[in-house]
Structure 1
Amino acid sequence: MTDPTPNHDGAATAGARPAEVAIRDLTVVYRTEHGDLPAVSHASLDLRAGEITGLVGESGSGKSTLALSLLNAVPDPGRITAGSVEVAGVGDVTRLSGRRLRRTRGGALGYVFQASQNSLNPLKTVGKQLLDLGRSHEVEDLRGLVRRAKDLCERMGLDADRVLDSYQHELSGGMRQRVGIVLALVLNAKVLVLDEPTTALDMISQAAVLDIVRSVHRENGLATLVVTHDMGVVSEVADRLAVMYGGRIVEHGPAGELLRRPSHPYTRALIGATARIVGDTGLARALPGQPPDLTTLARRGCVFRDRCPLAMPVCEESDPALDEWAPDRFRACHAEPVDRAPVAAAVPAPRTGAQDDPSGGRP
């Protein structure tokens, strides 16, 4: 079987910023009664300071598992079995444990979890949770930590005193999401990961959160990863885009180029499904079949072949490598790249709820 590892070393291209996070050949499996089931296979990706990278795919594509690997926090029975996650000034996170790993989480790496309202302790005020965070990272100047948190709150349009004195149920969904960002950045993280940052928010709250993501990212020079199923979200904020399917990164490159002229057939289908949702029937292109789960994932050949309109015999036998087919454009596909017309004249704006997930909102 062809090695699916990219045929590039992942180094920044000429003139690009150095990577704050360098993910190399990362493989994550879940150990079950059916054997070791791959959730992420041979993934390589750079996150660079000053860039927002969107990581997009249907439910079950492996994007949240990849994101949790940045914290070495894949839940049991998951295991990182190969590859590395090098963080600038820290080293390979997959080799960290104990105190060093705890200090990296929330320190160098800030993470805003999916449904962040559920990650807040309902029995403690936000202020108490802030102090707990500071103590767990051995912060000596807790008063300074509170001042920084208040400053971040004010910059995000929050009443700092009220928020710090509030319990999670006293805050709206949009406010809780912003509190999650405050707690992720208060220890001066250089890398920010947001997992489905607009899920369950109304349109106004979505727009507000995306504006905050952009401004906080820009003001702090962060390397930011936005994990989402919503092409509308990445069209709003991302500088670069990586597309996952069946645990593989199947395409990545500059977001604007990739959204206008996607090369991989799955990327085209994913964008086409989003265009259909906003009512452009002339562009509607429903993707047949269902995305694989861990038990049905092909162990040989291309993971997308059963749903691919370009499938060939070689796709049954050989897993395509992630190759650079054009400057700074990478794809994993046996078919020859074709300079096709754009999928849509305009990429749709963010939408609300599971109706926008081409997977139909499956867990």
Structure 2
Amino acid sequence: MTTQTPSHDEARAARGRPAEVSIRDLTVVYRTDQGDLPAVSHASLDLRAGEITGLVGESGSGKSTLALSLLNAVPSPGRISTGSVEVAGIGDVTRLDGRRLRRTRGSALGYVFQASQNSLNPLKTVGKHLLDLGRSHEVEDLRGLVRRAKDLAERMGLDADRVLDSYQHELSGGMRQRVGIVLALVLNAKVLILDEPTTALDMISQAAVLDIVRTVHRENQLATLIVTHDMGVVSEVADRLAVMYGGRIVEHGPAVDLLQRPSHPYTRALIGATARIVGDTALARALPGRPPDLTTLARHGCVFRDRCPSAMPVCEETDPALVEWSPGRFRACHADPADGAPGPEAATAAVPAPRAQDDATGERP
């Protein structure tokens, strides 16, 4: 399966549409012996139909917690303490519970979990998962649901009959990821959320999954969120990019522009740490220090200040607001946007060399 990334015109058209999901001032905390500790702090972000948004950051930055908040599915002892997640045609999902919340998950919001093998019951075939999903959503036409699942599976290069009769251990990692996408979209969800969709996959399977995501996204005009720590993944597929650190969105904007002209020091550091397949790998620089965990997050000031080469006294006291410093570009930083601008090495490191399309991306694993 071969695809093309959306054109700039398509991406601009998507940004002119109303948001399918509108996250506003969202804060998620976890109750501990030390009190409520924030995993996500005052996050705001829009997901629009026809647009793929990449959410990136190191492990522990709050990406998965933010993604689960879209389903109001933050695991205990976590809870959404402030803010809202407005879904078109549904309302604020943080205020939903019971049957209406269950119906929203799947019918409006499709989620493909990290570690695909853990999202499938090893004692059930894929077909049994599908029927259980249909019954839980009170689908009357289960035969129609199976037909739609088979159609989606075939379009993803899968042998639908074989896959529906298979248990998860009988499928490769790439096949399990495709099954996850089928189950996420079979109820006609308009929002697709993928948590680390290429983790633990080989390069061929990664390419296949990304091609499938682009194709399904474009054909269904989805609002797609891809959660990943892999800058190479977002440079391949994302129209927009949001960068998280310490539970905060520190920068977001058009992906190509942000990757080529990163403004926040953390974004520049992430890009500088990205190894390239071509060129001088010595240009990659590891980020100094360690990412914060919930117990070491700064309660005042900028969460990145201890690792930031541009830190100033104001960073100790005041948390920088996320502001639009350039049309369509947002950052949370006290430093001037031009300070510490990346050199040409960092810019070229951000965008990997184009990979050759090959027919292997459409093969069945």
Q: Structure 2 length as normaliser, TM-score?
A: 0.90
Give me the CA root mean square deviation. 1.8
Q: What is the letter of the counterpart of residue 61 of structure 1? A: S
- The aligned residue for residue 360 of structure 2 is none
1:217–1:224 Cα contact (<8 Å) kept: yes
The one of 334, 345, 349 equivalent to 2:348 is: 345
Q: What is the letter of the counterpart of residue 219 of structure 1? A: E
2:195–2:227 Cα contact (<8 Å) kept: yes
Assess, with a 3 A threshold, how the Cα gap between structure 1 residues 267 and 167 changes in structure 2: closer, same or farther.
same
- The aligned residue for residue 237 of structure 1 is 237
Q: CA deviation at 1:117?
A: 1.4
Q: CA deviation at 1:340?
A: 4.6
Assess, with a 3 A threshold, how the Cα gap between structure 1 residues 211 and 13 changes in structure 2: closer, same or farther.
closer
Q: CA deviation at 1:34?
A: 1.1
Aligned pairs for 1:1-363 within 5 A: 16-275=16-275, 280-338=280-338, 340-342=342-344, 343-346=346-349, 347-348=351-352
Assess, with a 3 A threshold, how the Cα gap between structure 1 residues 350 and 198 changes in structure 2: closer, same or farther.
farther
Cα distance in 1, alignment partners of residues 334 and 109 from structure 2: 36
Unaligned runs of 5+ in 1: 1-11, 352-363
Q: What is the letter of the counterpart of residue 92 of structure 1? A: D
Cα distance in 2, alignment partners of residues 144 and 281 from structure 1: 52
Q: What is the letter of the counterpart of residue 102 of structure 2? A: R
Cα distance in 2, alignment partners of residues 151 and 334 from structure 1: 51
Cα distance in 1, alignment partners of residues 300 and 13 from structure 2: 31
Q: What is the letter of the counterpart of residue 68 of structure 1? A: L
Cα distance in 2, alignment partners of residues 344 and 300 from structure 1: 32
Unaligned runs of 5+ in 2: 1-11, 356-365
Cα distance in 1, alignment partners of residues 276 and 153 from structure 2: 38
Cα distance in 2, alignment partners of residues 33 and 223 from structure 1: 38
Deviates more, 1:193-202 or 1:336-345: 336-345
Cα distance in 1, alignment partners of residues 220 and 13 from structure 2: 23
1:236–1:349 Cα contact (<8 Å) kept: no
Identity of aligned residues (%): 89
- 1:200-231 CA distance string (max 9 Å, x none): 00000000000000000000000000000000
Cα distance in 1, alignment partners of residues 146 and 128 from structure 2: 10
1:126–1:164 Cα contact (<8 Å) kept: yes
Q: CA deviation at 1:350?
A: 11
Aligned length: 340
Assess, with a 3 A threshold, how the Cα gap between structure 1 residues 317 and 327 changes in structure 2: closer, same or farther.
same
Assess, with a 3 A threshold, how the Cα gap between structure 1 residues 246 and 318 changes in structure 2: closer, same or farther.
same
Assess, with a 3 A threshold, how the Cα gap between structure 1 residues 310 and 303 changes in structure 2: closer, same or farther.
same
Assess, with a 3 A threshold, how the Cα gap between structure 1 residues 95 and 201 changes in structure 2: closer, same or farther.
same
Q: What is the letter of the counterpart of residue 27 of structure 2? A: T
Q: What is the letter of the counterpart of residue 172 of structure 2? A: S
- Where 2:224 maps in the other structure, the secondary structure is strand
- Where 2:102 maps in the other structure, the secondary structure is helix
